[in-house]
């Protein structure tokens, strides 16, 4: 298979499919609530009818997944930014945008993701060697490990009132997961099932609902970094290692791992602080590294750990590691360039838009996607998930507790 990778004709085909995946990942990342997983499942569905080796479909899936981890930070910061008085309840990226440092935040995110790719490739072998040896022990005690993660997330809120809020948020999300994850709804398009409306409701809709009455974006300053290179590098490295662990363990998200990273690489928690900047770098690094190591996990332990890898595995495409690794690097470079140069234009377009109209339009799109991917039941799940997604914002706790939608069922199933 490596010979195919250096054959000119095959190289052109691989680059063409990777380019298609880069476009899909850019689109999915730029639209809140639309995930690369959805495109991956669509591609998996049409894979048997696509002429040529299935590995090319896998290349497009992987490229889309990698680029999505770069681009998804842009709408997360630019859309749904609340008024200033709610700044302390918003995500770190929102706080930087409110402080006029949105361009810097996007550069930090792009750097965190790119460094994750650069670091993950050479560290893939030693980290995989270590994780594979620890993997059986972790799986044998999975309930204990996941329980410790849940406890650590709740305790990380630090004050008793916020700990209670985190616990309430987690329990609500876990209940949603226990009730809905095993549902196989009839839908017009088999492209991800209930996961699409669940995550769109939990993480996309609440931001958009708050944006209906938002005041819009303040003027943004230049993109110069106001944090040391050492902090960026150390946080990205820690995020990459955390992303490797996440890539092998079920139910642990990039946001959860990023919280753990900030325990190792601490920063202040104030508005626009080093803590906010570190969180952006860490989350972006974990998210991208997770995609890279999920590929390694599929190769080494034969178990897909992300939606993209589940879809890839469903195509029965061969694990042509040299081709797929080259795809990761190519997509990583493309994602960095897209965010670096496209993020500013994205913000400029959003800043000129009517926030109320924009938010309602995207909410309508999310409802349509929920119906497309999970039928009428998906719309109901989306509505319930949206209500639950509002809870952490109203209780002033981290949205990461919403990952209980996956962690909760895993803890119950592993007991």
Give me the tens of pLDDT residue by residue for the chain, a chain 415 residues long.
444 445 677 788 888 989 988 998 898 888 766 665 666 666 666 666 666 677 888 888 889 888 988 888 888 777 754 333 333 335 677 778 777 888 888 899 899 889 988 888 888 778 777 877 877 887 788 788 888 888 888 888 879 999 999 999 999 999 999 999 888 888 776 666 788 788 888 877 887 887 777 666 777 777 788 888 888 888 888 888 888 777 677 656 665 666 666 555 554 343 345 577 887 888 888 878 877 887 887 877 777 766 677 777 777 777 787 888 889 889 999 999 999 888 888 877 877 778 788 888 888 988 988 888 888 999 999 999 999 999 998 998 888 788 888 888 888 887 7
Which sign, positive or negative, has the C-alpha torsion 227, 231, 236, 238?
Answer: negative
Burial of 383 (0-12, 13-18, 19+ CB in 10 A): middle
Give the integer Cα–Cα distance in Å for 320 and 299: 9
Tokens found for residue 120: 């993950």
pLDDT at res. 88: 36
* Helical (H) or strand (E) element with 71: helix 54-71
pLDDT at res. 45: 64
């Amino acid at each position: 298979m490596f010979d195919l990778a250096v054959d000119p004709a095959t190289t052109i085909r691989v680059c063409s499919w990777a380019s298609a995946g880069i476009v899909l990942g850019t689109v999915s990342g730029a639209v809140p609530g639309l995930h690369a997983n959805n495109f991956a499942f669509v591609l998996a569905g049409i894979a048997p009818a696509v002429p040529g080796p299935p590995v090319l479909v896998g290349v497009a899936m992987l490229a889309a997944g990698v680029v999505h981890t770069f681009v998804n930070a842009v709408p997360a910061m630019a859309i749904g930014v609340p008024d200033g008085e709610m700044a302390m309840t918003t995500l770190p990226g929102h706080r930087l945008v409110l402080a006029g440092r949105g361009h810097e935040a996007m550069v930090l995110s792009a750097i965190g993701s790119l460094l994750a790719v650069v670091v993950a490739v050479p560290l893939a072998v030693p980290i995989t060697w270590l994780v594979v040896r620890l993997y059986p022990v972790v799986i044998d005690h999975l309930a204990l490990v996941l329980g410790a993660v849940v406890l650590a997330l709740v305790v990380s809120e630090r004050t008793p009132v916020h700990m209670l809020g985190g616990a309430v948020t987690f329990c609500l999300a876990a209940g949603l997961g226990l009730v809905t994850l095993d549902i196989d709804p009839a839908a017009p398009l088999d492209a991800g099932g209930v996961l699409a409306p669940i995550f769109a409701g939990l993480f996309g809709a609440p931001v958009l609902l708050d944006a209906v009455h938002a005041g819009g974006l303040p003027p943004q300053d230049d993109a110069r970094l106001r944090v040391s290179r050492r902090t960026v590098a150390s946080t990205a490295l820690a995020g990459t290692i955390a992303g490797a662990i996440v890539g092998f363990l079920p139910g642990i998200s990039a946001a959860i791992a990023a919280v753990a990273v900030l325990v190792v690489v601490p920063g202040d928690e104030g508005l626009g602080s080093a803590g906010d900047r570190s969180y952006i770098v860490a989350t972006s690094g974990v998210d991208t590294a997770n995609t890279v190591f999920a590929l390694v996990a599929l190769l080494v332990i034969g178990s897909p750990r992300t939606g993209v890898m589940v879809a890839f595995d469903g195509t029965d495409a061969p694990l042509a590691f040299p081709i797929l690794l080259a795809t990761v690097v190519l997509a990583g470079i493309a994602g960095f360039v897209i965010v670096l140069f496209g993020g500013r234009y994205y913000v400029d377009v959003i800043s000129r838009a009517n926030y109320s109209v924009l938010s309602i339009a995207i909410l309508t799109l999310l409802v349509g996607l929920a119906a497309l991917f999970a039928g009428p039941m998906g719309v109901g799940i989306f509505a319930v998930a949206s209500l639950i997604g509002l809870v952490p914002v109203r209780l002033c706790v981290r949205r990461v507790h919403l990952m209980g939608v996956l962690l909760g069922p895993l803890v119950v199933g592993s007991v």
